[in-house]
Structure 1
Amino acid sequence: FLNKGFNVVDSSVATGKIEVSNAYKIADLTDAGAISVGKQLGAEVIVKGKALAKEGPRNTGSKVGSYIADITASALRVDNGAVLGSARGHGVSRNISEVTGGTEALEKAAREASGKIIDQIIAKWSGEVSGGGLIQLTVRGIGEYSDFVKFKDIIQGQIRGVQAIYQRSLEGGIAVLDVEMKGNAQQLSDEIARKNFGGIPVKVIGASANTVEVSLGGAVSAKTMSTPPSSPPAAQPSPPVPAAQETSSFFEADEYLVFSGDRDENGRVGKMVTRPTATNPEGEFLMYHDGQKVWSKFFKAVRSAAASELQLGSRIYFFEGNHKEGVYYSPKDKSEARLESWWRDPVTDNSLVNNRGIVTVGRYRVDVSNAFVEKK
C-alpha cells in the first residue's frame, strides 16, 4: 500500500491511544469490529483479514521444508461500512528454517492479496470520480412526514448531480437515504447548506468522505412523526422483479451472485433492477455491499445443494463470511449473506460428506449447509 501512494496508519504505533474491546480480540473479526477500530485510528479505509501458514510436504531426508500460506482480506470504508475490495492470496516457500519459510510464504500471499485489493480500490475510486456513486444521507429531527417528502423532492429535483434517492430506513424521526450522485459528499453537503427548502429549516450537522448528516426542522433527538406514510413516495421507483420463486432462505427471487467474469471465483450478491433482453445479455444490479449499480452478464441464481450433488468436479458456491476453525459455514441471516463475499470452485474431496458433513471445494473445507449449486 505504501508503494502505491496510500497513507498508512500503523496500528502498532497507535495501539496505546485506542481501546480495543475484548469482543474484537477474536480470530474472526466482524466488519463492525474492524470499523470501530478504524474510527479510533482516524482511518478512512481499514483492511481486515485472516492469515494461515502451515508446513507442507517434506522430502524424506531433506532439511529443506515447504511452507504454505493463505490470506483472505477485505477493505472497508470506515464511515459507511461499504466494501471497497476483497481478495485471497496464496504463497509457497521452501526454506531450511520453519520461521523464515512460514514468513516468506505469508509475504508472498500478502503481496498477492494486497495487489488485488489495491486494484479494486483504485478502480472503485476512479469510477466514483468519473461516474459518481452512492452517498449515505442521514436525516434527523423529522417531525412531519410531509416535510420529509418535500426535502427529498428538492434534493432529487433541484440539486445538481443527484440522479436518484433510495430510502433505506425511516424510524423514530430518523431516516437513512442513499443518494446516487455524480459528485461527492462535500459537494452534496455544500449544496444542501445553500439550498432554500421552502421554509423548512435544514442544517448540515456532519459530513465525511462518503456520508452527510442533516437536521430537518425538529430537534436532533428522535421524535415520533405525526403522519405515518400510507404508501412509498413517488420518488422511490421500484425496480422490476423477475417472476421466479425464492431460491433459498438466503436469497430473494431477484437476487443473484454477480461476478466480474466467467472465470472469476469471487462474487457478491446483487439485486437485479434491469433484466437482460434478447439483444442485451447483461442485467443491471444494485450491489448490496457497496450500493453501486453494475451491469454484468456473469450472474448466477443459486440454491442449497443436496448431498448427492456434491460430486467430484461439480462447481459449488459457498459463503466466505462465516469461517471458524478452518471450515466455512453458511450465513447467519440474509443481511450477512448480502454483505459478505461468496466463492466458487469445483469439489476436490467429498469423502467427509456423510460422516462429518464437510466437503472440500478447491482448497477450502466447507460445511455442507454452506454448499450451493446453480439453479437451472
Structure 2
Amino acid sequence: MIEEKNIGESPSAYHLIEAQLNTAESALMEKLMAKGFRFVDPQIIARNLNLQKANAILGGDVQLASALGKKVGAELILVGKAMATATEVEAFGTKIRSQQATVTVRAIRSETGEILCTATEQGKFSHIDDIAGGIKAIQQACDRISETLVKQILDRWQADVTAGNILILQVLNVKDYSQLNRFKASLKSYVRGILSVIQRDFSDNIATLEIEMKGDAEDLAQKLSSISMEDFPFQVTEVNEGGVTIRLNASIPQSNPGIESPDTLQ
C-alpha cells in the first residue's frame, strides 16, 4: 500500500494526481516479483479493506496493517508514501522543468506487527510534462528502493534463521496472571531451543507470547506436543506459518498428602 502524489506546477497551472495512478505500487511489485517475491491479488486486499482502514494503515497503524496481512495470508505488508514534485530552473536563457520523487517504504511482519525494515530512496527526471516526468522519477526511486528492500529483508530473514526465529504462541484458557507467569517461566525449561519468551498481551483469559527459538512453527508444535508439563496440561489446537495456539486444561486438584481419604481410615 503506497500513498502516492504526483504534483506538477507552472506559472499558469497546478496539477494534482492522487494515488489512483499506482505508479509506485506497480513499479515495486514488478521489481520484487522479478526477485522471486509473490503478492496477494489486489482484489482480495480490496475486499478486506475500506477507506477508513486504508487511511489508518497509511497513517502508521502497524497493528491494523498486521491484522490485514494475517487476514489475506501475506507474510509481509509493504506500506509507504511516494511524492513527486517539479521545479523550474533557467540555464543559459532556457527554462528547464525538472521532476524529483521521494519514496519511503516500511516492511511489516504480519504475524507480529514488527517493522522488519524501512527504506527511503529518491529519483530525478527532466521532462516538459510534469506528470510524465514525475512518473519517471517515482519509477527511478522504486528501482533503487526495491534493491534496498530485498537486501534488508533477506538479511533479516537470514539473521532470524541464525539467531532464532520469532513465533507467536497464543495460550487459551489462562486462569489468571499468576498462572501465566508460572507457565512462561516453565516454557524454557520444558521446551529445548527456546531462547526467549516475551509477553505481548493478556486479556479475556488469552495470552499472546512472542517466542524466539531456532526452528519454525511446525518445530514448536512438535516440541510442545511431545512434552508433558505436569502443572500445565494442554493441547495444541492450531498451527500456522507464524505460530502455534494451545489451550490449557483445567488443573487437576492434587490430594493433600497430610490427610487420609475416608477409604483408608481404619
The answer to whether TM tops 0.5 is yes
Is 1:4 the counterpart of 2:31? The answer is no
Structure 1 residue 153, shift from structure 2 partner: 4.2
Structure 1 residue 164, shift from structure 2 partner: 2.7
Give the corresponding residue for 1:136: 168
Aligned-partner Cα distance in 1 for 2:110–2:184? 26
Structure 1 residue 171, shift from structure 2 partner: 4.2
Is 1:102 the counterpart of 2:134? The answer is yes
Give the corresponding residue for 1:351: none
2:146 aligns to what SS in structure 1?
helix
Cα contact 1:79–1:208 (8 A) shared by 2? no
Give the corresponding residue for 2:189: 157
With the length of structure 2 as denominator, give the TM-score of the two structures. Answer: 0.71
Choose from 34, 49, 58 the match for 2:80: 49
Give the corresponding residue for 2:44: 14
Cα contact 2:164–2:195 (8 A) shared by 1? no
With the length of structure 1 as denominator, give the TM-score of the two structures. Answer: 0.52
Cα contact 2:88–2:96 (8 A) shared by 1? no
Instruction: Mark the runs of 5 or more structure 2 residues left unpaired by the alignment.
Output: 1-31, 252-266
Aligned-partner Cα distance in 2 for 1:51–1:8? 20
**Structure 1 pair 39/147, CA: closer, same or farther in 2 (3 Å)?**
closer
Supply the RMSD in Å over aligned alpha carbons. Answer: 2.6
Which of the pair has the greater relative contact order for Cα pairs under 8 Å at 6+ separation? 2
1:58 partner amino acid: V
Aligned-partner Cα distance in 2 for 1:104–1:215? 54
Compare 182-191 and 193-202 and name the one that shifted more.
193-202
**Structure 1 pair 175/40, CA: closer, same or farther in 2 (3 Å)?**
closer
Structure 1 residue 175, shift from structure 2 partner: 2.4
Aligned-partner Cα distance in 1 for 2:166–2:49? 31
Structure 1 residue 202, shift from structure 2 partner: 0.9
Choose from 76, 83, 97 the match for 1:65: 97
Equivalences, count: 218
Give the corresponding residue for 1:167: 199
Cα contact 2:175–2:205 (8 A) shared by 1? yes
Instruction: Mark the runs of 5 or more structure 1 residues left unpaired by the alignment.
Output: 220-376
Pick the structure with greater CA Rg: 2
Mapping 1:246-257, distance limit 5 Å:
none
Structure 1 residue 79, shift from structure 2 partner: 1.5
Is 1:24 the counterpart of 2:54? The answer is yes
Give the corresponding residue for 2:121: 89
Aligned-partner Cα distance in 2 for 1:210–1:16? 23
Q: Percentage identity across aligned positions?
A: 28
1:93 partner amino acid: F
Cα contact 1:91–1:107 (8 A) shared by 2? yes
| Deviation string, structure 1 residues 231-260 (Cα, Å, up to 9, x no partner) | xxxxxxxxxxxxxxxxxxxxxxxxxxxxxx
1:180 partner amino acid: E
- Answer 1 or 2: which has greater helix percent: 2
Is 1:80 the counterpart of 2:116? The answer is no
**Structure 1 pair 40/210, CA: closer, same or farther in 2 (3 Å)?**
closer
Give the corresponding residue for 1:176: 208
